[in-house]
């Protein structure tokens, strides 16, 4: 390949780079510590992996809310953000379905 996955992993803070620099909001990430990357991932980016791991007994909405739960977002705000995100990608009518009830 041409490095698409590597680039996305670097932008997402999953992989570290050895050459060049990555600027986030105008700030170089060369001096980022682990806690800086954790904060960035928790509050600024989200991931959907090709081999996604959804919790089968949870609804689609609950699966999306989970990451926000881990980030300390309130229940009301989690629900709103998760619903908004699912609606934006055309899944607003799938909120109460389980992962195995959806086509891939």
* Helices vs strands, H then E, count in the chain: 4, 2
What confidence tens digit (pLDDT) does each residue in 38-55 have? 889 888 887 766 667 788
22: exposed, middle or buried (C-beta count within 10 Å: 0-12, 13-18, 19+)?
A: middle
- In this prediction, residue 73 carries a pLDDT of 87
User: What are the tokens at 2?
Assistant: 């041409």
Report residue 6 as tokens: 């590597």
Whether pTM > 0.75 for this model: the answer is no
**Where residue 62 falls among pLDDT bands split at 50, 70, 90?**
very high
C-alpha distances in Å from residue 15, one per residue of 7, 19, 85: 9, 12, 26
């Amino acid at each position: 390949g041409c490095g698409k996955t590597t680039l996305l992993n670097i932008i997402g803070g999953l992989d570290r780079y050895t050459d060049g620099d990555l600027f986030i909001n105008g700030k170089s990430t060369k001096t980022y510590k682990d806690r800086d990357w954790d904060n960035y991932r928790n509050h600024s980016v989200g991931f959907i992996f090709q081999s996604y791991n959804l919790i089968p007994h949870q609804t689609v909405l609950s699966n999306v809310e989970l990451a926000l739960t881990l980030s300390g977002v309130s229940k009301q705000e989690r629900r709103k953000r998760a619903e908004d995100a699912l609606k934006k990608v055309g899944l607003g009518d799938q909120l109460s379905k389980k992962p195995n009830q959806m086509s891939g």
